[in-house]
A and B are shown apart, each in its own frame.
Chain A
Amino acid sequence: MQKDSVLEMRGIYKSFYSVKALQDVDFTLREGEIHALMGENGAGKSTLIKVLTGVYEKDAGEVFLKGAEGAVHIKSPEDAQNAGISTVYQEITLCPNLTVAENMYIGRTKGFVTNWRQMNAGARKMLESLGIPARAEQQLGTCSIAVQQMVAIARAVDMECKVLILDEPTSSLDESEVAKLFRLMLDLKSRGVGIIFVTHFLDQVYEVCDRITVLRDGKLVGEYAIENLPRVELVSKMLGKELNDLSDIKSGDEEAHIGSEVIYEAEGLSSSAARHPFDFSIHKGEVNGFTGLLGSGRSECVRAIFGADKVTGGKVRVNGKDVRISKPRDAMKHRIGYLPEDRKRDGIVGDLSVRDNIILALQVLDGFFHPISRAKAEKAADEYIKLLEIKTASSDTPIKSLSGGNQQKVILARWLLTDPQYLILDEPTRGIDIGTKIEIQKLVLQLAEKGKSVTFISSEIDEMLRTCSRLVVMRDGKTVGELRGADLTQNKIMSTIAGGGK
């Protein structure tokens, strides 16, 4: 073990059934450094972390920790905590039925008895110092997702740890919260804690990290000091190929194929989630976007269009005819498709096969008494697996065993199969590797060329700029501006989101 390292992993192997998730991976974390762990989806980052924290048992390899003689054996998250490794996982892993304070302290206090007063006081202090808007006695389930994520972070950093692992902690945080997190990380770093940081946001990597380890297909690509690895090289290392210029995607004439007829038009639409009535319309062949900070109501708006929440008012016209869309099935009948924001919760049907997942929406449209024959379903599934290059063993494989990006493609296939005239894509590229991201963006533009209307929502503004010809900007549940043409620049969007607007 090297002198200044706090953690060394050597020759780690891990496979799930026949899939080799990690092969001979080495990883070194030094004292007082922030170390980015990068790779596409399915590269093995999360698996490596879960091996380290004892969620998975490794097949082979050794782990060394500073202060411990020889290789350490971490068999459960409990062991990891005792060894000084604290973790914030990608998905929030707290208990919604316990209070905020309990979530911060449970599983890491010594002794048999719970001292509520001491615990609540400690939690209050921590919440205050991090500026988290929650009370210590509050039930965690009643907090917003962002607050829950901050609580998880607070818990992790409060532990006396040598190694802090942050597995995509920023995906549900807004900018000010991310800034808070970064200050915290730098503070811990100065105290000698080694931090492993996993994220999809390249900006964040270059803002705080000292060193980068890149994984690809379960194998180690290399370890680099941040100053020796410019962005373009990082991306090409992650993808394993030179990246064609991203800006090539947009041809510049996307407005050319926008037809004159209005496909969908809503007036004063509101739902139980989107409380402020809003107007919206989209033309044939148009790609528009909703933008705004997290919680600005952009997802709620498109859910209202699709009838996913209880619609409380408003007039809707599809193809110029007055219609009523009060539930998803109504929207589907008018050939509207919706790819939900939370793939795992709202999108996939985990235990069902890829084939069943693909035909699901079409099947519902066909009706209860007209099941799609197996032959037809197989044909459709195979066609889209090929078309979208979905990586799956067969169409019989349960969708849950696919990687995130491939799951997303299956959901896309589901809606493409219904041949929609208007497709709503809510964060289709979140948590997906860069290669697939670009494929999806290209697909959106192709759809528009074919005369389909698309609403595209993304947290990454440059992605929206690349695909959309019109952006609806939202703040606090209200539409605050609509940008098109020359106004579609980073700066203009930012300033509209931030304040003023019209």
Chain B
Amino acid sequence: MMKKVALNRRTGRLSQMTDTNLLLTITIVVFFAMYLAAMLFIGRGFLRVQTFLNILNENAALIILSCGMSLVMITGGIDISVGKLTALVCMSAAVNLDYNGGSILTSILIALGIGLAFGIVQGYLVAYLDIQPFIVTLGGMFFAKGMTTIVNATQFNVQNEAFVALKNTRIYLPVGSVNRLGKFVPAYVEIGVVVAIVTVIVLFILLRWTKLGRSLYAVGGNSQSANMLGINVRRTKFIAHLLCGLLAGIGGYVYFLHVGSGAPSHASGAEMNAIASSIIGGTMLTGGVGNIIGTFFGVLSLSTIKNIVALLGLDDAWWTNITVAAMICIFLVVQSAVLLRKKDRN
């Protein structure tokens, strides 16, 4: 009897967790397990702090894009334009800086403006004209892709001095490692990482503690009910897309800051990486379930696995893609199995 009660309580806690928290827990546990395993069995780079920070440096833009994607996915939508939008932002900012004599400020304004414009138009079409988000953002993706080459068809590196200085700015941290010569090398992050982390924190607060944040979940859970509960569903969806567009603008600029060039091929496939990160982070495409912290760890997990594959010497181009795909696959299967079992128990 006692045993049964105890058992009930344990399974009870799992089933009492909201879906969002359950999936978030899985993601975080998997990330740490994976990183720990890499430290133990691969060693080498994974023991250095800088390796971890480089993952952040490389993926600051992706973190921001994924956050925007998660917002839209929580409302039950999707935005597949963000990757090509990033390329457009990079190209426009680059042209502004080098050909049109712009400054850092104007290039930032251009980036934000482009993102906002996409967000507003796509949000309007999705929220107020009831067109499926997939189709709308598919159009947005095509448009951004074409516009990038219309702005400038070839790749070039930005020469603007102020920008190059900003790009090379490193923020040193009080931690680091000792190199072979016994000298202490401090670890650093790029500016983009700071932007990304601020974004994550702001969005986490937004989702958790503001009315708007909870409305996003409600709309994604059941938009009809949300309407009946007195939530302005259209406005909420509009804001989600608007924020996603704006974040794509910010993320695009962070990407630009990292690579320092404009090219039509920039950030190709970033939208799929963002979707994959969101999913690994426990956001569900059906809407209503998800978490920004999870998305953050989703990006980290995705890029850690890529690093592990590279360090294992499986350098052939196809291995990374296949491993990433396998990882998405495993996550999906685990998630659906957990949620299905939970549903059965209730």
Contacts and interface: CB of A to CB of B under 8 A. Distances in A.
Interface string A365-383: 0000000000000000000
A94 B225 contact: yes
Overall SS of chain A's interface: loop
A471 B218 CA distance: 44
Given A76-B227, A106-B215, A114-B210, A98 B221 contact: yes
Given A99-B18, A106-B218, A93 B228 contact: yes
Contacts of A95: 217-218, 221-222, 225-226, 229, 288
Contact of B210 (A53, A81, A97, A113): A113
A81 B217 CA distance: 20
A108 B211 contact: no
B17 to A, nearest CB: 8
Counting chain A CB atoms within 10 Å of each CB, which of B17, B19, B217, B222 scores highest? B222
A87 interface: yes
A112 interface: yes
Which size class do B's interface residues fall under? 20 to 34
Nearest to B232: A78
Contacts of A113: 209-211
A86 to B, nearest CB: 9
Contacts of A78: 230-232
Interface string A78-114: 1011100001010011111111001100111101111
A319 interface: no
Contacts of B226: 95, 106-107
B224 interface: yes
A93 B229 contact: yes
A138 interface: yes
A142 B15 contact: yes
A98 B229 CA distance: 13
A397 interface: no
Contacts of B221: 95-98
Nearest to A142: B346
Contacts of A155: 229
B229 A77 contact: yes
A164 to B, nearest CB: 15
Contacts of A294: none
Contacts of A139: 16-19
A390 to B, nearest CB: 27
A97 B289 contact: yes
B175 to A, nearest CB: 34
Contacts of A98: 214, 217-218, 221, 288
B231 A114 contact: no
Contacts of B17: 139
A80 B212 CA distance: 20
A116 B213 CA distance: 13
B220 interface: yes
Contact of A97 (B209, B231, B288): B288
A472 interface: no
A240 B95 CA distance: 76
A116 B231 CA distance: 18
Given A77-B228, A93-B224, A96-B222, A111 B211 contact: yes
Contacts of A111: 211
Nearest to B205: A113
B214 A112 contact: no
Given A93-B225, A93-B229, A96-B221, A102 B210 contact: no
B227 A112 contact: no
Interface string B5-33: 00000000001111110000000000000
A10 B177 CA distance: 79
A187 B226 CA distance: 28
Contacts of B227: 55, 76-77
A114 B213 contact: yes
Contacts of B212: 112
Contacts of B218: 95, 98, 102, 106-107
Nearest to A109: B211
Contacts of B211: 109, 111-114
Contacts of B16: 135, 137-139, 142
B229 A94 contact: yes
Contacts of A99: 18
Given A94-B225, A97-B220, A107 B230 contact: yes
Interface in A23-68: 53, 55
A77 B227 CA distance: 7
Contacts of B210: 112-114
Contacts of A114: 208-211, 213-214
A291 B222 CA distance: 33
B341 to A, nearest CB: 13
Given A76-B232, A142-B16, 5 more contacts: A93-B228, A107-B231, A113-B209, A139-B16, A139-B17
Interface of A: 53, 55, 76-78, 80-82, 87, 89, 92-99, 102-103, 106-109, 111-114, 116, 135, 137-139, 142, 155
7 contacts: A77-B228, A94-B225, A95-B225, A95-B288, A98-B214, A102-B218, A108-B230
Give 3 closest A-B pairs by Cβ, nearest first.
A107-B230, A97-B221, A97-B288
